[in-house]
């Protein structure tokens, strides 16, 4: 396997601040750019119903206005009747900001707080280009391998062998406490118990030949559908070199990865399932 020049564009999906300069050497955990995007959490309150008043009368009862910050369950409008004996209130369902108030309709729209977004280098390398307010390009020489399927996003760590050959299953007994923060190389298949033990021991990632699809479903808590993987909340990245089921890793690939033991590896399990236009990758900088 020959080394190649690996070029990564690292951008945020909005305008923000860039924290690196051209010529700077970045580490995988170097912050490249940071910003905020509008929250997708939006709620409409029909205040006239909550207060039991006519829509056009709601404006006389609101105590929070457009642009005000509110917390979950905070009162945004209040109506009293029968000389204060009966009180009706409307509360915010989320932490957020009042974005719209319609006096004629008696409605209020509350949007969640802006969501911070940030991007890190992911790979070590030289900053060769800056995208103003968005990010940068990182370039490094190294090896790049593609898997067939993965879950979990970007992570990095030193590579360590957990089995002796590419046709050996990776079981829970192979996962050790000293695998914490490591990327471990398995063989033909990873078991459900091994996946759970790896999370327990703080393993960052697993590279393996295959996994039983039912085991992956049990591990995730749901069945993978058509779309893009990579955002699973499982605290580990899993890359399948060959696919689902028991699939030994080829001797050539296993031997190459074995020679890279203790080296830094940067992995990303993101997979475009339907079109296969994006496959999980393993990057070994040199």
**Percent over 70 (pLDDT), the chain:** 98
Tell which CATH classification among 1.10.3470, 3.30.70, 3.50.30, 3.40.50 matches the domain 147-285: 3.50.30
- Identify the pLDDT of residue 84: 60
Contacts of 272 (CB under 8 A, 6+ apart): 228, 278, 279
Which residue did the predictor score with more confidence, 1 or 194? 194
pLDDT tens digits for 267-284?
Answer: 999 999 876 678 999 999
In this prediction the pTM is 0.85
Q: Do 1-35+116-141 and 147-285 share a fold?
A: no
pLDDT tens digits for 141-150?
Answer: 999 999 999 9
> So where are the chain's domains?
1-35+116-141, 42-112, 147-285
**CATH architecture group of domain 1-35+116-141:** Beta Barrel (2.40)
Distance (Å, whole) CA 152 – CA 211 = 15
Contact, 265 vs 123, CB < 8 A? Answer: no
Is domain 42-112 classified as CATH 2.40.50? yes
Helix residue ranges, H only, 204-281: 213-220, 251-259
DSSP string over 160-187: EE-SSSTTS-B-GGG--GGGTT-EEE--
Contacts of 252 (CB under 8 A, 6+ apart): none
């Amino acid at each position: 396997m020959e080394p190649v020049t690996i070029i990564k564009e690292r951008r945020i999906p909005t305008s923000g601040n860039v924290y690196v300069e051209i010529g700077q050497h970045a580490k995988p955990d170097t912050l490249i750019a940071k910003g905020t995007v509008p929250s997708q959490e939006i709620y409409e309150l029909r205040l006239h119903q909550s207060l039991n008043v006519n829509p056009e009368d709601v404006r006389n009862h609101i105590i929070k206005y457009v642009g005000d910050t509110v917390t979950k369950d905070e009162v945004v409008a209040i109506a009293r009747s029968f000389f204060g004996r009966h009180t009706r209130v409307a509360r915010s369902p989320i932490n957020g900001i009042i974005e719209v108030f319609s006096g004629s309709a008696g409605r209020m729209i509350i949007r969640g707080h802006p969501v911070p977004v940030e991007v890190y280098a992911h790979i070590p390398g030289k900053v060769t280009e800056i995208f103003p307010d968005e990010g940068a390009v990182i370039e490094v020489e190294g090896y790049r391998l593609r898997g067939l399927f993965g879950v979990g996003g970007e992570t990095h760590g030193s590579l360590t062998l957990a089995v002796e050959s590419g046709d050996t299953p990776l079981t829970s007994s192979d996962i050790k406490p000293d695998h914490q923060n490591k990327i471990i190389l398995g063989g033909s298949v990873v078991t459900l118990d091994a996946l759970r033990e790896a999370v327990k021991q703080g393993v960052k990632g697993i590279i393996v030949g295959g996994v039983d699809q039912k085991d992956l479903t049990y591990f995730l808590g749901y069945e993978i559908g058509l779309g893009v993987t990579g955002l699973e909340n499982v605290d580990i990245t899993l890359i399948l070199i060959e696919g689902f089921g028991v699939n030994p890793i080829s001797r050539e690939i296993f031997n190459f990865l074995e020679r890279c033991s203790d080296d830094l590896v940067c992995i990303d399990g993101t997979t475009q399932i339907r079109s296969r236009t994006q496959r999980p990758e393993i990057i070994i900088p040199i």
